[in-house]
Amino acid sequence: MRPDAKATQRVYRKRARRYELIHHIGTRFRDTTWRQEVAWLSAIESGARVLDLCTGTGLSAIEYLKVWEVKGIRDLRIVGVDHNNEMLAVGKENLAHLGLADRIELVFGDAMDMKRGQREESYVSFEDSSFDAVLSMCGVGEIEEPTLAFKEMLRVVKPGGRVVVIDVHEPVKGLTSFYTVQRWFWQTIVVPNILRRFWGAGDPSGMIYEIAETTFTDENNRQWAFETLVQVVRTDSWWLSLPINTIGIFCGKKIEQSLHSNRIGV
């Protein structure tokens, strides 16, 4: 089931102010840990330029920054991109309030086309290989054509840089306690009512597998792909189980793929 772009835009326009609270409650406050996990996987160094795709109110970027500060990673340039003006406006207010406006920049753009700014002024535009890492937390399930966004992530990250995505995942037989109940709950409540009706989103379960297959050919006819470093489905204990107890995580490194032989790492 694909996300309905018009519905997601409406939802986020209406709920921008309450988004963070709703997200915390919906995930039973586990989302903060998920955001921090993305930062741990980014493997960036001081001075890096980082893209937070589908940044919403920039909450993830704030959590990433906390992890990087703990690790002693400094002098970062963090850019958050989203196509919802209301979410960005709330995010800018929050950043100003926290004194982080000069460290995290929030800009309007389309995850599926990060060259759109070359044709339409209001959108942002990024060069190939212009970020040290591209991160997205609970964003891929909302993108109308996620495969276009995966290509863009691969395009804008530097060779050797990492792309990390994290989103909710369907329960997995053999890993999930009370699988039959969880499965029923996922199919009848979570996907149609929470993801689709409440957020306008699709089922993101397949994303961590689809992104791993992404390739991109640049202007010099060089072909790029991901070396998969992490592809994990993680399930919480049964007492933390409903409404959502499973997440999927992908972390890949951009490598050059030879057209004639096996992959060559960068």
Ligand X SMILES: C[S@@+](CC[C@H](N)C(=O)[O-])C[C@H]1O[C@@H](n2cnc3c(N)ncnc32)[C@H](O)[C@@H]1O
Among 65, 73, 111, 153, binds ligand X (CB under 6 A): 111
Q: State the Cα–Cα distance between residues 55 and 157, nearest whole angstrom.
A: 16
Q: Does 91 bind ligand X (CB under 6 A)?
A: no
Query: Which residues, 119 to 178, sit near ligand X by CB under 6 A?
Result: 137-139, 142-143
Question: Residue 135, SS3?
Answer: strand
Q: How many residues bind ligand X (CB under 6 A)?
A: 22
Closer CB to ligand X, residue 89 or residue 181? 89
**Alpha helix locations (H) across 85-210?**
85-98, 146-156, 179-185, 199, 207-210
Q: State the Cα–Cα distance between residues 264 and 255, nearest whole angstrom.
A: 7
Q: How far is the CB of 167 from ligand X (least distance, A)?
A: 9
Q: State the Cα–Cα distance between residues 263 and 257, nearest whole angstrom.
A: 5
Q: How far is the CB of 138 from ligand X (least distance, A)?
A: 4
**Which residue's structure tokens are 């060089």?**
222
Q: How far is the CB of 249 from ligand X (least distance, A)?
A: 14
Q: State the Cα–Cα distance between residues 63 and 68, nearest whole angstrom.
A: 9
Query: Which residues, 48 to 87, sit near ligand X by CB under 6 A?
Result: 54-56, 59-60, 81-84, 87
Would you tell me which residues interact with ligand X (CB under 6 A)? 8, 12, 23, 35, 54-56, 59-60, 81-84, 87, 110-112, 137-139, 142-143
